[in-house]
Amino acid sequence: MKGYVILISVVAALGGLLFGFDTAVISGTINFIQPYFGLSEAGLGWTVSSLLFGCIAGVFLAGKAGDRYGRKKVLMMAALLFFISAVGSASAHSLIFFLFARILGGLAVGVASILSPMYIAELAPARYRGTLVSLNQLAIVVGILVAFFSNYLLVNTGENNWRWMLLVMAAPAILLYFSLFLVPESPRWLVARGRNKDALRVLVKTSGSEFSSAQLHEIEETLRNQEESTYRDLLAPKIKPLLFIGIILAVFQQITGINTIMYYAPKIFANVGQSNASALVQTILIGGTNLIFTLVAMALIDRFGRKLLIIIGSTGMMIMLAGLSVLYFTNQTSSIWLLVFILGYIAFFAASLGPALWVVAAELFPNRLRSKGMSVAIVSLWIACAVVSIAFPIMLEKLSGGITFLIFALICLTNLLYVLNFVPETKGKTLEELEKHFAE
């Protein structure tokens, strides 16, 4: 039973792997596509962020399509979009075509960012849900590490090196598409469509025959006599506070600066005098740290809870960003401390806010509103990500690194205070128990 649930989670998490790869692979190409397409700093920011505009549309597509056609079929569509984006961006000879291909990839990332964690949450037993949903975040960071490593291996393949970097994504896209034939549809979606017998068969395989009937009854109870949901339902008095928590946590995950490192690390290192190859080696260290501390989070999230991890992580992120700010103010950016503070920041993020946001977002909302609530929260995440990604190279140029990283440190402090005062703990309860708890 556990093996079957892990298989389902691993297959769904391949969407997370592609999500991570597609968002991070651009970092290794920016020092090559900037001169190739003749981009200014502002133009580079918009080009890097083009994927994110597709993400915003993809999240809304995922919410509606996921409810109508099922989580599994829409994830298969995302796999096809990942493949088309990889081939298209790698073969682009004009900026317009390149941007179009990246936006298609963004659509796929947006779909995967919603449906992969939602699908896992709806199939995972309550006892292991935090760990299994965190598997999606693990897949994201593995995707990021694979992108960084493949970028390094391909950096010396000639003037078309950036094309090969982007084409690599086609392989896991094909793997995701065919792997989805091995897994079932979400039992909660099946019940919502009146397919209770099919849902029971899935629950027997994932939760065991002893608990499956009771769990099916719980799901039926939460969905019985409920009309088709709309986005307006998210503004109901008992749902609105949950929506605000989801939105604010999602925005904080991005504006605390994570993708300034993930997207622009090679540029940061190149700006302090390192070669392109050396800068890409440093990004592999970033990806490795991200992976190791995501594993730490997976080991701790169901034991200590989501809230405590975020509190500890936000504190550490604030300290690391403050350290980076001091290095820039004192002109010490060529020292080893630049790498130490960046790796420290990544470690605290990966052990806390990185995976915890996806777990909490998948747990907050009732069954009938889960896809819509997550859609709004994750759209907010991608909008925040786009704003930060566009603004960061301009901030470095206009404000200096010292002020830029100080701003991010103060945002981490704000996030810490918000979580302490407003974010509930969700560990250890079934989705239906959480629904009843939040409705009280």
Does residue 294 surpass a pLDDT of 70? Answer: yes
Q: Give the per-residue pLDDT at 98.
A: 94
Q: Which residue has the higher pLDDT, 440 or 150?
A: 150
Q: What is the mean pLDDT of residues 66-76?
A: 88
The pLDDT tens digits for 236-252 are: 888 888 899 999 999 99
Rounded to an integer, what distance in angstroms lies between the CA atom of residue 343 and that of residue 294?
13
| Amino acid, single-letter form, for residue 396 | L
- Answer for the pair 156, 277: CB distance below 8 angstroms, yes or no: yes
Residue 303 confidence (pLDDT): 85
The per-residue pLDDT for 275 is: 63
Does residue 269 contact residue 282 with C-beta atoms inside 8 Å?
yes
* HSE-CB of 51 using CA atoms within 13 angstroms: 30
How many CB atoms sit inside 10 A of residue 199's CB?
Answer: 25
CA distance 301 to 299: 6
pLDDT at 440: 62
Instruction: Give the chain's mean pLDDT.
Output: 85
Calpha distance 438→430 (Å, rounded): 12
How much is the pLDDT for 74?
A: 92
pLDDT at 15 > cutoff 80? yes
- Distance (Å, whole) CA 30 – CA 98: 13
- Tens-digit pLDDT profile for residues 359-398: 888 788 887 788 788 888 988 988 898 888 888 888 888 8
Q: Check residue 191 and give its pLDDT.
A: 85
pLDDT at 199 over 80: yes
Residue with tokens 């708890």: 437
CA-angle at 8, arms to 2 and 11, nearest 5°:
135
Confidence of residue 439 (pLDDT cuts 50, 70, 90): low
- Provide the sign of the torsion angle of the four alpha carbons 253, 259, 260, 265, taken in this order: positive
Cα–Cα distances in Å, from 366 out to 24, 210, 226, 245, 369? Answer: 32, 24, 11, 14, 5
Looking at the predicted structure, is the pLDDT value of residue 226 above 60? no
Q: What is the pLDDT of residue 430?
A: 67
Residue 228 confidence (pLDDT): 64
310-334 average pLDDT score: 92
3-state secondary structure the chain: CHHHHHHHHHHHHHHHHHHHHHHHHHHHHHHHHHHHHCCCHHHHHHHHHHHHHHHHHHHHHHHHHHHHHCHHHHHHHHHHHHHHHHHHHHCCCCHHHHHHHHHHHHHHHHHHHHHHHHHHHHHCCHHHHHHHHHHHHHHHHHHHHHHHHHHHHHCCCCCCHHHHHHHCCHHHHHHHHHHHHHCCCCHHHHHHCCCHHHHHHHHHHHHCHHHHHHHHHHHHHHHCCCCCCCHHHHHCCCCHHHHHHHHHHHHHHHHCCHHHHHHHHHHHHHHCCCCHHHHHHHHHHHHHHHHHHHHHHHHHHHHHCHHHHHHHHHHHHHHHHHHHHHHHHCCCCCCCHHHHHHHHHHHHHHCCHHHHHHHHHHHHCCHHHHHHHHHHHHHHHHHHHHHHHHHHHHHHHHHCHHHHHHHHHHHHHHHHHHHHHHCCCCCCCCHHHHHHHHHC
Sequence-distant (≥ 6) Cβ neighbours of residue 209 within 8 angstroms: none
In the chain, what percentage of residues exceed pLDDT 90? 30
Min mean pLDDT across 19-23, 148-152, 154-158, 277-281 is at: 277-281
What mean pLDDT do residues 264-271 have? 71
Query: In this structure, what token pair is assigned to residue 210?
Result: 């002893």
Nearest residue to 105 (alpha-carbon basis) of 26, 6, 198, 30: 26
Query: Mean pLDDT, to the nearest integer, of 25-40?
Result: 87
CB within 8 A of 329, min separation 6: which ones?
A: 402
Record the tokens describing residue 128, joined without a space: 């292991």
Task: Report the sign of the C-alpha dihedral through residues 79, 368, 131, 24, in that order.
Answer: positive
pLDDT at 333 (0 to 100): 77
Q: What pLDDT, on the 0 to 100 scale, is given for residue 431?
A: 67
CB atoms within 10 A of CB 418: 16
- Could you tell me the CA-to-CA distances from 424 to 252, 281, 294, 297, 341 in Å, in that order? 16, 39, 22, 18, 30
